[in-house]
Structure 1
């Protein structure tokens, strides 16, 4: 209970001036509380909209579902490990709560440009996939070749028997069986080639080209090459399932991300979001995209997100062209990327030394991917860096 007192300490009634002062203070307090609530609600709406956009991108493709959610989580794990590191080149890196919030927002927005990427490119599970997997069409062509080979053999057999009813035609049957076996082997090889892998050597690519020189009679009665130009281009893709043009479309999402974020009037405490979010496909040697930035031109946060994005992609089990790799394989590939000047070497060493990969794996990876990691076997890792 608050009472008014006079100069002698005796309780008295509140004066009109006292009442006006109290009402003025209460009014200002009410305005401050209302403004604070409004700011909190706007922040909540802003964050919800960002997460909604990320969820929409993940929902757009069943093969990348969760990517936009997992990358911010792993980025923050790496950032916290670097923040707590008190030795080596990263020891001076420190984050405030404002820095953490800014990096988290950047993580959620790192792939926002993918809203413009066509689904047929994002979801391309095999090399011949368009609106359907054209491997089935290729299978039909092999069956046509086998049918034609059988017809040719029977015609030759009939011609031989007409001239000599007692003629031996076992050689025709043997050659026919060998021909069918070769076509079956070629078909199995093309089926395997249709599945994108980490690397397709030149010998395998040349075999695809040789098979493409086979002739068959298409539905229009035209004697045509076995593969058209587009099919041959796709089946000889050396890595993954995307052609150069399709990969350019995928890579363009970073340019779109930067363009989109550059148009947003970020407040001062979020002013670095476009740089953090737009740099995760750059390389330390300047050979990345979209801007070809070098290590010195990038912030530590952008370099952290680069490692997070790669590790999540390697370990993800929901990609159309591969299964999730075990921890040892993910770290081995990252180690080679460090040696190739693709990722930041100091952050990678912290990532391994502080076992950030292990914390992420326990939370996001299935148990069958979590194998025993021997850090001494990881290429490029320097335990005492």
Structure 2
């Protein structure tokens, strides 16, 4: 069944994670993504762990794509790239600001040649502003966006989230931007420039923290496991692990206290209202934790589910990827790779009823599709031979 983006061609000059994550989302839903790599391959191809010599991280977020290796400083390869762009709807790049201009591939140059082109850029700090020339990584964006300042133990040091949240958020924002620009092109017939950055994306995630600062003028404090506006709403210890409980609503709180044999907490003036419970969250959590530790995680999730209180066990990744709900939702998939064999990958989280996404192919080998891409462009066989010779040298 054709995907929602069937017929859309994307030329990807991006690397690392943010840009490729965007193009993976587009490819999963049917777009023809052609990944243009340097002759030695994108940097992520050299990141461990490896399966039969192939980078597992690279394979994770470069599925459903085709690869061609080009030297953009070579006139013939530069011309090939322009031919590819002429055939495309979208161009994605993630170089430092200024690099594409030096290659003659910046938006201002290409806009006049390809007026229907949607040109997507993602960078560390954006294309403009005092920090535009700086490179950026997820680590740096987490530090500068305030994420680290509010993450970790209340009295501990700033803490880096172990997932590359800023990269992923920037990739998702870029995906939204590209899809928005495609929809606008249906009305106007014109392409446009779409741009975001890791710093912008990470800052945009600061919803509660922005409310706190804009309202009080004070830096939001580090909360540890607690929520800024809801209590109880965090991780609780059990007899054999941990369970998360979200019981901020009054009826949930009262049911929780009944399950915990702690009816006195309901009439305690410190916990009378949601605002009171947030103010005295530490005391409330301490009192509830005495009881939660007397029962297993399974007991708590069963009983909390029975009365309708939102809850969930803290799963490790073995438990996650074998969880019946994840299996049912097809969030773990298998794909065949020409060198690595059958490998597992994450499934597609967005479910469309009529035009579902699909995992059609593994991440490409370097330059794997050069010949077929050149044939699609109508390039002569001699050009392919010259290109292959330069790759070997």
How high is the TM-score relative to the length of structure 1?
0.22
Say which one has the larger Rg: 1
How high is the TM-score relative to the length of structure 2?
0.21
Give the structure with the higher percent helix.
Answer: 1
Give the structure with the higher percent strand.
Answer: 2
